[in-house]
Each structure stands twice: as C-alpha cells, then as structure tokens.
Amino acid sequence: MKKLKLEELNRLDLESYKASKKIPIVLIADSIRSGLNVGAFFRTADAFAIEKIILCGLSPKPPHKEINKSAIGASHSVDWEYIQHIEEAVIQLKNSHYTILGIEQTNQSIPLRNYTNKANKMAIVMGNEVDGISTNILKHLDQAIEIDQYGTKHSLNVAVCAGIVLHHFSSQMRSEK
C-alpha cells in the first residue's frame, strides 16, 4: 500500500469542475457564525459536487480569512450566493420545486437512515451552531431530519453534520442514476 500523490488522484481542474454536472442539492447556511464551518461547507460541497451553497443571515461570505483557511480554494469551485433573509431563500427554492429538508431535532424529526429520498431536487438547511435552524423556517420544511447519536452530547458540529448528510444524499442520488 502507498499513499497517492495529488497528481495520481485524477481530480478535475477548476474549469472542468465548473463545467461538470452537479447533483441537484443546495446547501443553505442559516446564520452560521464560524467562517471555518462555512469553509468546511464549501470543501464538502466541492467533494460531492453539489449544485450550490446559499449563505444567509450572519454567515460570512468569501473572501474571508477563516473560509479560505478551511475551504482551501473550494469557494472558487462551488457556486454560491448570499441571501440575507433565509425565508426568502427557502421560498425561492420551494417555488422551484426543491424539497426542503432541515437538519434539526424537532418533535417530528426522522432519523437520516430512515429518510427515503424521493425528490429530484433538494435543499438542505443547516442551522446556527448554537440556536439551530431559525424557528420561522420550520413551517417551510418538508421534513426535519436528525442524525442518530449514541453518546452524551446532544449535537454534532454543524460542518461534520453537513458532511454526513451530503455524503448520504450524494450516495443515494448517484446510485439512482
């Protein structure tokens, strides 16, 4: 066994990646405070080739020192936009026939492992590190989903959570093709 060198990974160059087909997932950042978490969203979005990221509320926007530190250039490859009010972003996507999924612990959440994706296009809302998803958005969700946890903590880091969820749905959508 040997570790592969970067040139052995056969990754797309920036121009080829931008032109490549993306899976129809939009990641919505609902007032994410940490630029490091937002940067991790970009890096994960690049890895799974999702459609785009929408940054809302307090979420920092590129170019930003902390985003650059964790994104390592992915803020250049992943399409993104900033929409101040998350409700506007969610309604826009709903009107474009996206299924809106909130990653949140609610009285109606279902485990990620039990959610069967029937959507052609989905938007995944990731909430603030302390407060979670904005309460006014809950009524717009088609479903709230949570990740099973078996330890003592009640939540995962938002960037880790996004990685798990994007991997799950990316795998599902790619296997359905």
Domain ranges in the chain? 26-134+165-177
> Does residue 175 register a pLDDT over 90?
no
Sheet holding 143-146, edge to edge: 80-83, 50-56, 23-30, 122-126, 99-103, 143-146, 110-111
β-pair partners for 155? none
> Does residue 26 register a pLDDT over 80?
yes
Homologous superfamily (CATH) for 26-134+165-177: SPOUT methyltransferase, trefoil knot domain (3.40.1280.10)
> Does residue 37 register a pLDDT over 70?
yes
The predicted structure's pLDDT at residue 118: 84
Cα gap 57→83, rounded to integer Å: 7
- DSSP run (H or E) holding 144: strand 143-146
The predicted structure's pLDDT at residue 177: 58
HSE, CB side, 13 Å, CA atoms: give it for residue 64: 19
Q: How confident is the model at residue 123 (pLDDT cuts 50, 70, 90)?
A: very high
Cα gap 134→88, rounded to integer Å: 13
